[in-house]
Amino acid sequence: MLTFNAQPKVTKKLSSQLVIASLLSFGLAACGDSYNDSDNTYTPPVEPPMEYSYSITLTNLTYGQPLSPIAVALHGDTKMWQVGQAASVALEKLAEGGDNTDFIALAENLATTSSDGPVPPGSSVTLAISTTEAMAKYLTVVTMLVNTNDAFSGLTGVDISTLTVNQEKSWRLNVYDSGTELNNEAVGTIPGPADGGVGFDAARNDIDLVGYHSGVVSKDDGLSSSVLTQAHRFDNPAVKLTITRTK
């Protein structure tokens, strides 16, 4: 008698091939790859860009100097000001009138943010900033001391590329003079609440070089034409700045 046992072997072989094909198909799907059966082309997965996120906290350490809205920028390897060099018009507008609009719009900036309003003495503000630009490895933060002619505080061109997630770094910052407006403290020249005077003036009547600020004199200390009082004087450092990488 003849025994027909070939058919079960074929069925078993086909079944094994189907299982293997299913596993291969699942593996490709799990990897996010793409295979086009019509033309036998393979498309590798697209990696999403790396995101870099930071939390910036600024604290006003002065007694009677409100700070203008804080400008924060991430950018490439450049500095937005240097001691001994002339201030840009964007920095002049910020340092004389507290307006950071042009500074935020500088072409060098790859990511920016600004606080909504001034920061009173003794207060803090925290801002978040993110970027997917790999070149945005440097940080600039700047603000005006508004009860002055053209004093500002901040730091520029600081390399933050080595910060790891949840790592923080802090600075205590001194005050600069933009060198674009004479520090006469006169009526009508101080944009802050001490006077409510004019902010930015395109005419430069000082040395036209950024330097370290010598401080407020005030009418209490012998400058009779000053609208400022001893309360508006400030010591260095005037600002504390902390950055934390969050992502």
Q: Do the domain assignments include residue 2?
A: no
Q: Do the domain assignments include residue 63?
A: yes
- Residue 78 and residue 37 share a domain: no
- Residue 21 and residue 140 share a domain: no
Q: Do the domain assignments include residue 150?
A: yes
Q: Which two tokens stand for residue 25?
A: 């198909």
Output the pLDDT for position 45.
81
126: domain CATH number is 2.60.40.2130
- Residue 142 and residue 58 share a domain: yes
Q: Residue 165 contacts by C-beta under 8 Å, 6 or more apart in sequence? A: 245, 246, 247
- Residue 151 and residue 56 share a domain: yes
Cα separation, 9 vs 53, in Å, equals: 60
Residue 141 pairs with which residues in a beta bridge? 72, 155
The DSSP output letter for 119 is B
Cα separation, 219 vs 223, in Å, equals: 5
Q: Do the domain assignments include residue 1?
A: no
Q: Do the domain assignments include residue 5?
A: no
Domain count, the chain: 2
- In whole angstroms, how far apart are CA 102 and each of 72, 74, 99, 154, 187? 12, 15, 8, 16, 26
Q: What does the pLDDT profile of the chain (247 residues) look like in tens digits?
A: 333 344 444 444 444 554 444 544 444 444 445 556 666 777 778 878 899 999 999 999 999 999 999 999 999 999 999 999 999 999 999 999 999 999 999 999 999 999 999 999 999 999 999 999 999 999 999 999 999 999 999 999 999 999 999 999 999 999 999 999 999 999 999 999 999 999 999 999 999 999 999 999 999 999 999 999 999 999 999 999 999 999 9
- Residue 66 and residue 27 share a domain: no
- Residue 126 and residue 34 share a domain: no
Output the pLDDT for position 189.
98
Q: Do the domain assignments include residue 4?
A: no
Output the pLDDT for position 38.
65
What is the domain range of residue 21? 10-43
- In whole angstroms, how far apart are CA 98 and each of 127, 188, 206? 18, 15, 18
- Residue 105 and residue 38 share a domain: no
- Residue 22 and residue 94 share a domain: no
Q: 3-state DSSP call for residue 113?
A: strand
Cα separation, 231 vs 175, in Å, equals: 17
Terminus-to-terminus CA distance in the chain, angstroms? Answer: 76
Q: Do the domain assignments include residue 105?
A: yes
